[in-house]
Chain A
Amino acid sequence: GAGVSQTPSNKVTEKGKYVELRCDPISGHTALYWYRQSLGQGPEFLIYFQGTGAADDSGLPNDRFFAVRPEGSVSTLKIQRTERGDSAVYLCASSQLTSGGAEKYFGPGTRLTVL
């Protein structure tokens, strides 16, 4: 079946604006993850959903960042009052299980540029 998809692939916005980034996980995957990858760095954990609930949002950098997954499938990462430092590639991943060995499947990412 289809892999993890993310839209848009690129988003350019102005400082102070609000953005939404969407993630469509693989069908049937209960776990969903958001990461942020800055240039020259590995991914940085943001938030993890188990079903509809955020099981761990400890990676969200501040209260401008929020994510939802209302029906346990599609997730939206929302960033308010964007800052230039928010510019990065935002990655979404999903997995069928949450045990240590469960393989995560990553989407291609959304490149966010804040001018």
Chain B
Amino acid sequence: AQSVTQPDIHITVSEGASLELRCNYSYGATPYLFWYVQSPGQGLQLLLKYFSGDTLVQGIKGFEAEFKRSQSSFNLRKPSVHWSDAAEYFCAVGPMDSNYQLIWGAGTKLIIKP
């Protein structure tokens, strides 16, 4: 079965600390991988995506993610979080031939301590 697992429902980090949000997937074929961020009252915004090539991808707002095929993981990282990063983060996977269906994780809510 195809699925995306984000094991952490909530994560709390101090401002300035590093961050890693976990994402594991189960998918029959080679997927496209995405991370989205959803701030309160805002639409989902694409942070970064991976299709092929270099397994470390850079995104907006200083985020990066690393694709590890052997672990079926696509973890999101940021070296130093800012209070404005407080939001909910979603990992998603989709087929390579089209993008009209994505399988989404349940999200991880990031809380920033001052």
Q: Which residues of A contact B (CB under 8 A)?
A: 3-4, 31, 33, 40-45, 48, 55-56, 59, 91, 93, 95, 98-109
Contacts and interface: CB of A to CB of B under 8 A. Distances in A.
Interface stretch (B12-20, B63-71, B102-110): B102-110
Contacts of A104: 44, 46, 99
B32 A100 contact: yes
Contacts of A108: 41-43
B83 interface: no
Given A42-B4, A43-B104, A45-B102, A100 B94 contact: yes
Interface in B77-114: 90, 92, 94-102, 104-107
A55 B100 contact: yes
Contacts of B104: 41-44
Contacts of B94: 100
Contacts of A42: 4, 90, 92, 104-107
B101 A45 contact: yes
Give the dominant DSSP class at B's interface: loop
Interface residues of B, number: 27
B100 A106 contact: no
Contact of A91 (B4, B43, B46, B98): B43
Contacts of A45: 100-102
